[in-house]
Structures are given as C-alpha cells and as structure tokens.
Amino acid sequence: MDLLEYQGKQLLERYGMTQSPGRAAHDVDAAVAVAEEVGYPCVLKAQVKIGGRGKAGGIKIAESAQQAREHAAAILGMDIRGFTVHELWVQRAVEIEDEYYAAVVFDRSAKRPLVMLSTRGGVDIETVAAETPEAIATLHVDPLTGFKPFHGRRLAFEAGVARDVVFAVATLLGQLYAAFCGEEAMLAEINPIVITPAREVLALDAKVTLDDSALFRHPANAALTDLSDADPQELMAVERGLTYVKLDGDIGIFGNGAGLVMSTLDVVAGAGGAPANFLDAGGGAKADSIVAAIEVILSDPKVRAVLVNVFGGITRCDEVARGLIEAVRLLEPAVPFVVRLDGTNDVEARELLTAAALPGVVTEPTMDGAAARVVALAAERSA
Ligand code: GDP
Ligand code: MN
C-alpha cells in the first residue's frame, strides 16, 4: 500500500525525523486556515500517490492568504497523470541550499534491505540513477546487526555529503531505516532531504510503501487506506474478498487460480481480444461467491462478453455451473457468456447448464475454442 506524502511524513515523524510543520486540508478554506497557522511563505502540495507533482504544477508556494486561496483552488481537483487531487498538504516553506536523496528498499536478490544516499536529490533523481549511478552511495544492511550510526556516516562520506551535516544526515538515515523495519515497509524514500541555509536537515517529501501482507500487525497503518481514488470495480472486489485487477479491454474474465487466469488472458489476447479484467475466484469457489464475482465483472460498463474458464480440482465444476446459473438468473446480464469447464464433475456441470438453457450462455470444450468464441462475440457487439 502506497501512502500519501503526508501520511508517510506522519509515520516518519514517529521515528523522530525532522520536518517543516504542516497539516492536511480537504478544501480551500481549510487550506487557507492552515496557511495562516503555519505562516508565509508556505507550500501547498497536491496529495496524490504519484511522484513528479512539482513538475505537474501540483506544488505551489504562497506568500499570502490570497495566494494560498488561489493555489488551493487551482490544485484541488487537478488531475495529475490520472490521479485526482482530493487533499492538500500545507506546510511552512523552507529555504533550500541543497537537495539530497535517501531511500531504503528491499533488494530481493541480495535478500537484504538496501540503503541509498545521494547529494544529487530533487526532481531529477531518475536521470541521476540512469546516467550516473555512481552518484548514489549504497549499502546492504545485515538484518541481524541492523543499521548502525557508522553505516550512516560511511554512506554520508561516500555520497560526498557536506561535512557539517554528516551527522544529521546519518541520523536521518537511521530514522528512515528504523521506520522501514518498524512499520514493515517495502520502500521508504525521501526526495528531497533539504539542507537549509541555516544548515538544518529536513525531510521535504516522503514516499512510503507498506507491505500489505503485514498490515494486520499495524492496525493504525491499515486504517490509512485511501479509497477515494480506487476504481469502483476494484473496491467492490476488495469488499467481497476477490482477487481482481481491472484491465483496459472489453472481455470479462472469470477463472479459478492465478495461473489459469493469466493463461486465459494470454489466450484471449492471442485470439485477438482484449481482457477487461483479471478475476481469480480462487480454489473451492462456492455458488454464492461466483454470483458475487460475476456481479463485479458485469458492473464494468466496458464489458461486452464474458469468458468463464474453470479447471475443476478442489473447485467442483458443478458448483461453478450452479453459481453461474444463479448469477445469470439473478443479474440478467446484457452480454453473452462463453463457458469452458474442465476437470472435477465437468460432465455434470455441462448437463446442468444444458438443462438450464440460459439465454446468451454457450459452452465450449476447449480453452482456445472458448477464447476464439468470446472474442468473436465481443467484436460482434462492438460493430
Ligand atoms: P515531487 O515533485 O512529487 O517529488 O514533490 P516534492 O515534495 O519532492 O517537491 C518537488 C520540489 O518542489 C522540491 O524538489 C523542491 O524543489 C520544491 N519544494 C517543495 N517544497 C518546498 C519548499 O518548502 N521550499 C522551496 N523553496 N521549494 C520547495
Ligand atoms: Mn519528491
């Protein structure tokens, strides 16, 4: 789960990281009130889960209440590469002398956290990483010894950090690492760390990604979930405990098991079609969960035809057929279904479907055949 900048900052604050004071605001009046509170100049920052906000015009400095109002009105509701701005973070502006970059990530191949530090932080760190990777000092941390103060100093010297702020930068790295481990993050990144003319070291931005599988150990973090920008079908699927990913095409996919669903996507693409989603009903799906899943697929207005591809193992095909019959009777879909059932109780399943004689539902014996059929049906409907 990605956190918004200010959620990340609040999390890092608990580990002692120094930041410029600020508060979040949901509307223009609230933003102006925070601006008045923190004083001028202040910065208004779009809170969206994507970087490059500065370049996109989502970060503005205000010198007065009047300007704060103008900027807040301009940024709220703005679209930043597909993300709508619903929230602002308003903080006291700081003077910047230098911009550094720091991050802790998982290096899966090394099986260790990797700490990175560069004195060339700011909005162009991607270019630095691509063109001059040696400008980024790195260190793998042995999880048993942890990140020690001397590690921080070593990185600071290697990165060429100004002498007078080496200790402060090393301290910040220690806090970043502690937060990364303590909150079970996958990524904790500060870009930029700023050095002010008074030689203060502050975290000006924060990007934190938490491990979803560990959220149950961190109820306060789990509560941070921001659903305002989530896709309606994905929300519906989350509520129903389904594994669902929305895609761009027009063919709804229902399968059981991630491997089967993935190969179904491939076969549909191979037949010239474009899947509208990835829906894995999992093993042992029962009739009512099938109705719930079909409802999610049908709620996507882009869907022109649905392919049900089930291989019965633990899942019994007759159970899927029953769920499907119930779903079609209940939801009365306006789009055709192509069904391929194979494996445990498949004969019984096909008999059930034949007996039900559902309008708009056809069965196909093979996966390739089913894919070709559903692609043809979707194409007919788009013509
Ligand atoms: P990003 O563009 O999404 O990475 O957002 P950041 O929070 O990193 O801000 C982008 C840039 O805006 C920073 O690198 C700074 O140059 C500038 N900026 C942000 N806050 C301040 C501030 O308080 N004072 C000044 N002078 N510049 C700021
Ligand atoms: Mn940034």
Catalytic annotation, residues: 101, 189
Amino acid at 102: A
- The rounded distance, in Å, linking the Cα atoms of 167 and 242 is 48
> What strands lie across the sheet with 42-46, from one edge to the other?
22-25, 88-92, 42-46, 59-62
Centre of ligand 1 from the C-alpha of residue 54, in Å? 6
Q: Which domain CATH number covers 195?
A: 3.30.470.20
Pocket of ligand 1 (CB under 6 A): 43, 45, 51-54, 59, 93-94, 96, 99, 122-123, 191-192, 204-205
| 127 contacts 136 by C-beta, under 8 angstroms | no
First to last CA, the chain: 40
> Which of 7, 53, 59 to probe ligand 1 with, by most ligand atoms within 8 A of CB?
59
Among the bound ligands, name the one nearest to the CA of residue 49.
1
Q: What is the mean predicted confidence (pLDDT) over 321-340?
A: 95
Give me the residue label for tokens 């509701």.
Answer: 77
The two three-digit tokens of residue 161, written as one number: 């950090």
> What confidence category does residue 317 fall into, taking pLDDT thresholds of 50, 70 and 90?
very high
Say how many domains are in the chain.
3
137-151 pLDDT, tens digit per residue, is 999 999 999 999 999
Is the pLDDT confidence value at 127 over 60?
yes
Q: Are residues 218 and 279 in the same domain?
A: no
- The whole-chain average pLDDT of the chain stands at 93
- The rounded distance, in Å, linking the Cα atoms of 236 and 28 is 31
> What confidence category does residue 235 fall into, taking pLDDT thresholds of 50, 70 and 90?
confident
Q: Which domain CATH number covers 58?
A: 3.30.1490.20
Q: Are residues 328 and 258 in the same domain?
A: yes
The sign of the CA dihedral 72, 77, 80, 85 is positive
Residue 158 lies in a domain: yes
Burial 49-64 (b: 16+ CB within 10 A, else e): bebebeebebbbebee
49-75 pLDDT, tens digit per residue, is 888 899 999 999 999 999 999 999 999
Q: Are residues 103 and 56 in the same domain?
A: no
Residue 61 lies in a domain: yes
Q: Are residues 126 and 190 in the same domain?
A: yes
> What confidence category does residue 241 fall into, taking pLDDT thresholds of 50, 70 and 90?
confident
Among the bound ligands, name the one nearest to the CA of residue 42.
1
| Of 302, 317, 347, 328, residue with least CA distance to 256 | 317
Q: Which pLDDT score is estimated for 297?
A: 95
Centre of ligand 2 from the C-alpha of residue 101, in Å? 9
Residue 7 lies in a domain: no
Report pTM.
0.72
Containing domain of residue 313, as a range?
A: 232-382
Q: Are residues 183 and 247 in the same domain?
A: no
- The rounded distance, in Å, linking the Cα atoms of 102 and 118 is 7
Q: Which pLDDT score is estimated for 226?
A: 64
Is the pLDDT confidence value at 38 over 60?
yes
Q: Are residues 262 and 211 in the same domain?
A: no
> What confidence category does residue 228 fall into, taking pLDDT thresholds of 50, 70 and 90?
low
Q: Is 335 exposed, middle or buried (0-12, 13-18, 19+ CB in 10 A)?
A: middle
